[in-house]
Amino acid sequence: MLIKTKKDIPSSEITPESVYRNRRQFLKDSANIAFGAATGSVLAGPVSAQTGDALFARAPVDINLASKPEWLVEKAANRTDAPATGPYNTDEELTPFSDVTTYNNFYEFGTGKGDPSSNASEFRIEPWTVEVAGECAKPGIYALEDILRPHTFEERIYRMRCVEAWSMVVPWIGFSLGDLLKRFEPNGNANFVAFETLVDRGQMPAQRSRFATIDWPYQEGLRMDEAMHPLTIMATGLYDDILPAQNGAPLRLVVPWKYGFKNIKSIVKIEFTRSMPNNTWNDLQPSEYGFYANVNPEVSHPRWSQATERRLPSSLFMPRRIETKMFNGYADEVASLYAGMDLRRNY
Ligand code: MTE
């Protein structure tokens, strides 16, 4: 079994995000020139001196997994690329790996942005099962490998806009949620699909805290047409590798036109329901967080405007504030899902 944590990666390996996009092309080119064994070493890990400053290595950020299932690492490595043009890709600058993996919301590990990467050490994703329940022909408890095996993974580069008004651009690895859901044969009563995160007080410190405000498990849900939309993915990795614990290993939802809190992490249950399921932030503060949570610059949060966002990495001196787009820039693809709905009431 391949067990590799960030502790094994030399600190000389520096984040390559500025060249990440060119990586595939570079690898193709280098296969054609007399690059010799160095090509193999680029693919396999530590970069040969011939390539300069460890161009394609990753940042020394701990991905916090007790072990990495070999079959999953291999599936992530064998992913395909999304078409270069169209909504599954963007030429906006990627958020560096180090920010994507250290600036997180994962309240099970604490409420600070750095808490998930600090507190999720040695998170166990082996064994992992997903319970499928509710209005479908094939309910059951499925091993992670059975859930993922039939799907080819694809890289999708999506914007992610948090309701807190910051945003990132993330190269996810994942596959269509709709393709997964179809396998369980939802019936005519399946109007919604609900998701739950792992509850494991031993591993998730905030779940054993007496001061936690969330009633665990973290829950989310989608209308069936939202869940079946081709933009909606079950993510299993980012930046060329499987998901770090802090980003929701081993599988999490990514719905790019909605606020980030819909993107539930570390999923252990999927349930087809007749009526609209609970979602954690709506339960906590219904006047501030709705079920739909579509990114909408025209509808302010009661305590702040949603007209603009901070594109990470940002700082006091480099705020990188940009205008927020309707449906996070995916309006052409998804606006029709909400035709006739009052988006001020259905926030
Ligand atoms: N999923 C669980 N289980 N617990 C959480 O606290 N936070 C949500 C979402 N999924 C959260 C979660 C919020 S508020 C956001 S913005 C995104 O995860 C953040 O994802 P990221 O940390 O990968 O950027």
Compute the average pLDDT of residues 111-130: 97
Pick from 53, 21, 24, 20: nearest CA to 39: 24
Percent of the chain past pLDDT 90, that is, above it, reads 81
Q: Cis peptide before 87, with omega less than 30 degrees from 0?
A: no
Residue ranges per structural domain of the chain: 1-60, 67-338
Query: How far apart are alpha carbons 276 and 193 in whole angstroms?
Result: 8
Q: What Rg do the C-alpha atoms of the chain give, in angstroms?
A: 20
**43 alpha carbon – ligand 1 mean position (Å):** 31
Q: Which CATH class is domain 67-338?
A: alpha beta
Nearest CA to ligand 1 atom 5: 106
pLDDT in tens, 160-204: 999 999 999 999 999 999 999 999 999 999 999 999 999 999 999
Residue in the block written with tokens 């560096």: 96
Query: How far apart are alpha carbons 207 and 195 in whole angstroms?
Result: 18
Mean pLDDT (the chain, rounded): 88
Amino acid occupying residue 35? F
Residues 6+ apart with CB under 8 A from 150: 183
Measured between its terminal Cα atoms, the distance across the chain in Å is 46
Pick from 336, 311, 313: nearest CA to 326: 336
Compute the residue count for the chain. Answer: 347
Instruction: State which ligand 1 atom lies nearest to the alpha carbon of 107.
Output: 6
Amino acid occupying residue 139? P
Amino acid occupying residue 79? R
pLDDT band at 61 (very low <50, low <70, confident <90, very high): confident
Model's pTM, two decimal places? 0.88
Query: How far apart are alpha carbons 244 and 62 in whole angstroms?
Result: 8
For residue 20, the model assigns a pLDDT of 72
Amino acid occupying residue 259? Y
Protein residues whose CB sits closer than 6 Å to any atom of ligand 1: 104-108, 162, 197, 218, 247, 260-261, 263-266
For residue 268, the model assigns a pLDDT of 99
The three-class DSSP label of residue 144 is: helix
Cα 326 to Cα 35, 192, 249, 260, 295, distances in angstroms: 46, 23, 29, 15, 6
Nearest CA to ligand 1 atom 12: 264
Nearest CA to ligand 1 atom 23: 247
pLDDT band at 59 (very low <50, low <70, confident <90, very high): low
Query: How far apart are alpha carbons 122 and 120 in whole angstroms?
Result: 6
Q: Determine contact, residues 130/269, Cβ cutoff 8 Å.
A: yes
